[in-house]
Amino acid sequence: MNYMEIYNQWLESDYFDADTKKELENIKGNEKEIEDRFYTDLEFGTAGLRGIIAAGTNRINIYTVRRATFGLANYIIKNTTEEEKERGVVIAHDNRHMSREFCLEAANTLAACGIKAYIFDSLRTTPELSFAVRKLHTIAGIVITASHNPPEYNGYKVYWEDGAQVMPEIASAITAEVNAITDYSTIPTIKDEQKDLVVMLDDKQDTAFIEAVKTQVIKTELVKKVGKEFKIVYTPLCGTGNVPVTRALAEVGFENVIVVPEEQNPDPNFAGIEYPNPEEHKALTRGIALAKAEGADLVIATDPDCDRVGVAVKTTTGDYALLTGNQIGAMLTNYIIESSKEENKLDPKATLVKTIVTSEFGADIARANNLGVINVLTGFKFIGQKIKSFEESGDRTYLFGYEESYGYLVGTHARDKDGVVASLLISEMAAYYYDKGMSLYEGLKELYKKYGYFKEKTIALTLKGIEGLAKIKEIITYFRENDIKEFNNTKVVDLKDYQKGIDDLPKSNVLKYFLEDGSWIAVRPSGTEPKLKFYVAVKGQDESECAGKIDNIESDINKIIDQVK
């Protein structure tokens, strides 16, 4: 059927509710809108769904959530033992519009398929879901969240029994099951006798998670020493982080934590923040203003599902500067290594795990300390996979894992990035420098003096709709099929095409150019948004030299894009 036939089917079928039909009636005559909503099914990607909340097959709504869950249930039923199936699935959700409704729809659909579903009484963080999968020994997990997307979005992520997001082979198999569901009315609905399969969790899970997070503190006495005076401004950006982050900070000894009042409570509209992304300066506007008023030493922000962390630090001028994900990751790498050495806790088999689009700053620090470094594809599940393989082989131990997009995991209590433990360790690290009479910003400058100046930039080209998707494919195909010899008048010495399945990694639609001066450029389509991303990383003597390199490389990239357009 074409998109108009599917649209009419939704209008005429008794399966779809009156509110859905009313919404669809309101777009009658708007063929472009109808086309965008129905020309395809919302793609079940490498870990699940993400889309605009609205009626239609290419939107996220109760029906597409049911369909995704039925597909997951069918995969579990067909590919696990009876014992594994009986372990059930745990579900968490954030503060977004429809998150609770989607959580309940998923739970009821699983129960209708004879699979136990554990749910929380209200919103919880993504890292706690990852922890709960392993703690409850479930076969899978689901998180209802769209991370840091704008308010009109929501999403659905699937985790497997190891606590990490499903790996590509499982994701592909679940996708096939989802795609096989062409008639929504065939999705089973929960019966009275199945309602006991939906189990409400108590607060024991919360305490177990917080206790696991607290064990990652390295310098407990230092925190107790400066915790009363060291001042932190924190914002959960109206999401899930406020309760666990402030609890963890308080219980280890940080007593001077000020939460941004306008952003402390869950709000699906994010108190007017258009893009609740902690890497964006605008998202931290209130937090920085409060820090200036209070003379705070550190500003921390977590995204709505509390798996990413942004940081603003006081500079030598008294202003506050945002650190990048690469800077935070490198500083945490150095702090964990140096502190572990001081405490005689550094395992010589310890290995740093980072993604292929993450700076070499942290990797250089690890290598300088004779530690291993492993690169994985973009997506924290690949870091989680390495933790599992280290534990199984015993050849390596996990030191720390991070990605440039503000995701970090200290410890192995979770298998996904954890904004709670990262907030705790960032605060401890900042307190360490504070105790030395230094700011985190001055600590960063020290590392630059020792290891060289690193600078990165991500260039995101947003192209929406059918035409946008086609253009993204056309541009990356151009880069793949044309022999680009230089950027910034510097020779390309190597090109890695991860689509070919190289470096013992799964195939992925990523290109990475390596330049003669040590700079690199990576090109990849976003897995969750209609964007083509270019990652540029350079190293030099200082900020000015690096900024010049990035500007020239960006100009060359734009010239190539213009040729394709």
DSSP string, 75-139: HHHHHS-HHHHHT-EEEEE-SSTTHHHHHHHHHHHHHHTT--EEE-SS---HHHHHHHHHHTT-S
Give the tokens for residue 429.
């690290």
**Sign of the Cα pseudo-torsion (392, 396, 399, 402, in order):** negative
Residues 523, 533 contacting (CB under 8 angstroms): yes
pLDDT at 528: 67
Residues 116, 199 contacting (CB under 8 angstroms): yes
Torsions phi, psi for 262 (to 5 deg): -70, -15
Torsions phi, psi for 242 (to 5 deg): -55, -50
Closest by CA to 232, choosing from 452, 410, 440, is: 440
**Alpha carbon 292 to chain centroid, angstroms:** 29
Closest by CA to 432, choosing from 540, 343, 548, 530, is: 343
Residues 312, 288 contacting (CB under 8 angstroms): yes
Lay out the sheet containing 257-259: strands in order across. Answer: 257-259, 232-235, 298-302, 309-314, 320-322
3-state secondary structure string across 389-456: HHHHHCCCEEEEEEECCCEEECCCCCCCCCHHHHHHHHHHHHHHHHHCCCCHHHHHHHHHHHHCEEEE
Type and span of the H or E element at 296:
none
Residues 402, 409 contacting (CB under 8 angstroms): yes
What is the length of the chain? 565
Residues 512, 519 contacting (CB under 8 angstroms): no
What is the full per-residue pLDDT of the chain (565 aa) written as tens digits? 899 999 999 999 999 999 999 999 999 999 999 999 999 999 887 778 999 999 999 999 999 999 999 999 999 999 999 999 999 999 999 999 999 999 999 999 999 999 999 999 999 999 999 999 999 999 999 999 999 999 999 999 999 999 999 998 999 999 999 999 999 999 999 999 999 999 999 999 999 999 999 999 999 999 999 999 999 999 999 999 999 999 999 999 999 999 999 999 999 999 999 999 999 999 999 999 999 999 999 999 999 999 999 999 998 888 999 999 999 999 999 999 999 999 888 999 999 999 999 999 999 999 999 999 999 999 999 999 999 999 999 999 999 999 999 999 999 999 999 999 999 999 999 999 999 999 999 999 999 999 999 999 999 999 888 888 899 999 999 999 999 999 999 999 999 999 999 998 989 999 999 999 999 999 999 876 789 999 999 999 999 999 999 999 999 999 999 988 6
CA distances from 106 to 42, 90, 424, 458 (A): 16, 10, 32, 35
Give the tokens for residue 339.
């502190």
Place of tokens 């190597």: 494
List, as own/partner pairs, every contact residues 158-162 make where C-beta atoms lie below 8 angstroms and the sequence separation is at least 24, other chains included: 158/47, 158/48, 158/72, 159/129, 159/130, 159/133, 159/415, 159/416, 160/133, 161/84, 161/87, 161/133, 161/134, 161/137, 162/133, 162/134, 162/384, 162/385, 162/388, 162/415
Instruction: Decide: helix, strand or coil at residue 377.
Output: coil
Closest by CA to 263, choosing from 239, 281, 282, is: 239
CA distance linking residue 399 with residue 393, whole number of Å: 15
Q: How many CB atoms lie within 10 A of CB 457?
A: 16
Instruction: Using a cut of 0.75, tell me whether the model's pTM lies above it.
Output: yes
Residues 382, 162 contacting (CB under 8 angstroms): no
CA distance linking residue 358 with residue 337, whole number of Å: 19
Q: E-strand spans in 250-308? A: 257-259, 298-302
239, 242, 248, 254 alpha-carbon torsion, rounded to 10°? 130
Closest by CA to 340, choosing from 397, 300, 403, 286, is: 397
**Residues carrying an active site annotation:** 147
Name 216's Cβ contacts closer than 8 Å, sequence gap at least 6: 410, 411, 413, 421, 424, 425
Position 63, amino acid: Y
Closest by CA to 190, choosing from 268, 124, 105, 128, is: 105
CA distance linking residue 65 with residue 38, whole number of Å: 16
Q: How many CB atoms lie within 10 A of CB 546?
A: 21
Instruction: Decide: helix, strand or coil at residue 518.
Output: coil
